[in-house]
Structure 1
Amino acid sequence: LFVFEANCINFEHTFNCQQLDASELSSSPPKKPAHTATKRSLPMRSSSVLRMASASVPKGNGLRPAPMALLPPIPLYRRLLRAHRKHLPSEMRVLGDEYIKAEFRAHRNVDNPAHLIGFLTEWQLYAQKIEGDEWRGEKIDPGKVAKMSDEQIGQLYELMKAIRERRERGEEEEES
Structure 2
Amino acid sequence: MRASFLRLAESVSTKPLNLREASATLYPPIPLYRRLLRSHRYLPREMRVLGDDYVKAEFRRHKDVTNRVHIIGFLSQWKMYLDQMPRDKDAKSFSGKKLDPTVFEKMSSEQLGQLYELMHATKDVWKPISEDS
Common fold by TM > 0.5: yes
Q: TM-score when scaled to structure 2?
A: 0.74
Q: Deviation at 1:127? A: 0.2
Matches within 5 A, 1:1-176: 67-86=23-42, 88-131=43-86, 136-168=95-127, 171=129, 175-176=132-133
| Larger Rg computed on CA atoms | 1
Instruction: Give structure 2 stretches of 5+ with no counterpart.
Output: 1-16
Q: Deviation at 1:161? A: 0.2
Q: Which has more helix, going by share of residues? A: 1
Q: Deviation at 1:147? A: 1.0
Q: Write the distance in 2 (CA, Å) between the matches of 1:89 and 1:102.
A: 20
Q: TM-score when scaled to structure 1?
A: 0.57
Q: Structure 1 135/122 Cα, relative in aligned 2: closer, same or farther at 3 Å? A: farther
Q: Write the distance in 2 (CA, Å) between the matches of 1:146 and 1:123.
A: 19
Give the match for residue 40 of structure 1: none
- 8 Å contact 1:129–1:135 — kept in the other structure? no
Q: Write the distance in 2 (CA, Å) between the matches of 1:153 and 1:121.
A: 19
1:110-145 C-alpha deviation (Å, 9 max, x unpaired):
010100000000000000001367961521111110
Q: Write the distance in 2 (CA, Å) between the matches of 1:98 and 1:77.
A: 12
Residue identity over aligned pairs, in percent, reads 54
Instruction: Give structure 1 stretches of 5+ with no counterpart.
Output: 1-58
RMSD: 2.5
